[in-house]
Amino acid sequence: MKFKMLLAATALSIGFSGAAHAFDDKEKDEIGKIVREYLLAHPETLIEVQQAYEKKQAAERAEQAKTAVKDNHDAIFNASYDLAVGNPKGKVTVVEFFDYNCGYCKRAVGDMDAIIKANPEVRFVLKEFPILGQDSVDAHKVSNAVRLVAPEKYGDFHRALMSGEHANEARAVEVAKSLGIAEDALRAKMTEAPNDESVRDAYQLATKLGITGTPSYIIGNEAVFGAVGEEELAKKITSVEQCGKTVC
């Protein structure tokens, strides 16, 4: 039995692909049965393997993001088409990739505002990343026009569009008009500068950083995936203030 257990463990560790030349069909069939019996008797092994695989993937993703942050620093933190809320000259910059129709992004607005209120040294860059369909793309075109026509109202526009129902072009225009921005000026700017380049850049950066969903954040040298909440973001910001990295 010990031999069978060892054989099963060996088969699991090296895989059939690497061992195929060493076993004939009868032996491979016997190994398969042993492995199956072992996994049925110890199903927790599959969970351990899955957890190890996920941990390895997370580590690889984090390393990919760290390299991408270093290689694309200015495009991430200082793109000319991005606007920031909070302190425009803050010592710590948080970059958020967001979509106006992302439910988690809507809830994360409260995290952003709480962080800005608690820490006057935070510069919060909003990187428009419409990935949830044509309505999101259209809403972001309006948002870009707001940025160009009335940049001082961009933060209020962002919060208002995030706080309500489904975002599309019509609703985004209504939100902008409610803030006193003329629709004809918006429409003209949407035609002149439809936001294609900045969105394309955001997509390319997201690919390099391993970002596949919203919200995602860049803080210091790290990409933070998902709506992790105010407390977790604040911890990373504090670390960046102390040593320039999210983990000192």
Integer Rg of the chain from CA = 25
CA angle at 60 for the pair 35 and 202, rounded to the nearest 5°: 135
Alpha helices in 72-133 (DSSP H): 73-77, 103-118
pTM for this structure? 0.77
- pLDDT (0 to 100) of residue 21: 57
- pLDDT (0 to 100) of residue 222: 92
For tokens 């054989």, name the residue: 7
Q: Which residues of the chain have pLDDT under 50?
A: 1-7, 14, 16-17, 19-20
- pLDDT (0 to 100) of residue 41: 85
- What does the pLDDT look like over 21-52, one tens digit per residue? 567 788 888 888 888 888 888 888 888 878 88
- pLDDT (0 to 100) of residue 94: 97
